[in-house]
Structure 1
Amino acid sequence: MMFHRELAMIYEASGKTIVEFIIRLNEDRPGILAAVSDVFAENGVNIINASFNRLQKMIHVIADFTNSVSSISDVENMLRKFSFVYDVMEKVLNNDAYVLATLSIPTFNNNYVLAIDHDVFENQVSEPLLNILRSMGKKDGELMLGMYGSFKASELSILQLRGLGRVQVQSAGNATIIRVCRENLSEEFSKLILSYLEGFTELFNIKTQNQGISESCLQVKVTSS
């Protein structure tokens, strides 16, 4: 399961030399991010934030050159020497505290996603919304079926990547107990989690049984039909 998310950030950069790099790639292969990171480290540059967008074959880096032993152009030229690098663009950013605004759209499993606050969902729980959660779960279940051919409870950690809560999985004889926890979990939000699980398990002929909320965790028992 692949999960890519580009994160906006706030950074106190007063009096520092902050530089943004866009590194466009010819190809995606193992070790690329490590090689790029080594270039910055060898030149005394501190990477503040880095994201790798495989859809656009692009590495986005925000780096602090304040204590660098090399110039910005030196680092740029070293990056260009890699065979997997197509182009490098850089610019010096304002050295005030800032919110980075030049990030690509977040993706999940190589699909673009829309980020929505929990409280917006929680205040709009309805059957159409629950159907959307079931569809999301079914789509993720289809992905698991294609990868493994069978149900694997450990893969339910994807709920956490979906933002539904922290996941704990326990075996209980022929059943599996799933606990999905989040701060101040409400009955309304638990309906969203349960709907997602119903969609996820549908293709595997698995039944879900809501066992209620305890200590801000929704407990669900899943058994084979």
Structure 2
Amino acid sequence: MSELSKETQVWLKSAGFTVKTEAIWLEALTHGSFNSGSPSQTDHARDYQRLEFLGDRVLGLAVASWLFRASDRDEGQLSQRLNALVSGRTCARIAKGIGMPDHVRLGKQAREDGGADSDNILGDVMEALIGASFLDNGFDITRDVILALWESDLSGDAGRAKHPKSALQEWAAHNKRAMPHYDVTGRSGPDHASRFTVTVRIHNVGEAEADATSKSEAEKLAAKAFLEKFG
């Protein structure tokens, strides 16, 4: 396996990361397409997927613990902010802000296809770097790096007062779940004073329901109930 370039080492340090074990960081920056030109399996560099899995959890814990200490909001509101702050979109935006695209290791075709600017790839690599930091330096140091990189988002409006249906859609996307599906499962009362019951489902997660005097309000309340139950 090749070593981290001097430029990448300098970049990681400027972003706040501390590199001790180069192989972990090289893995975090390697996309699966990088191996496409390798003549044999033994030449393959490990890609970032395992570190992404770890980093996603470390990021979630770091941000959740900050939110818990910084606010006395209820569970639903905390979950809403958390989902926005750790979303793939947020991770990708922060990755671009620190200049990550120049350092991701991609295959020739993937780079030509715009992989270095892909939100999906950059968001995943951001989480992989967090996983690498956790393994190389422990949680406390990694948490401090996260809070520094996320500082403007934590002090901003991300996830505040968001419509529950939008918040639920973000939650599903972040957790790699199917999009929510809403059904009107009941209606009662006269036409001039009807009440609607709506059930929202996410495949392989569960469902929640709510009723209100309009379909849109019932959908909103059902999404809020789902987040409170599963978020």
> TM-score scaled to structure 2, two decimals?
0.27
Task: Name whichever structure is richer in helix by fraction.
Answer: 2
Which protein shows a greater Rg? 1
Task: Name whichever structure is richer in strand by fraction.
Answer: 1
> TM-score scaled to structure 1, two decimals?
0.28
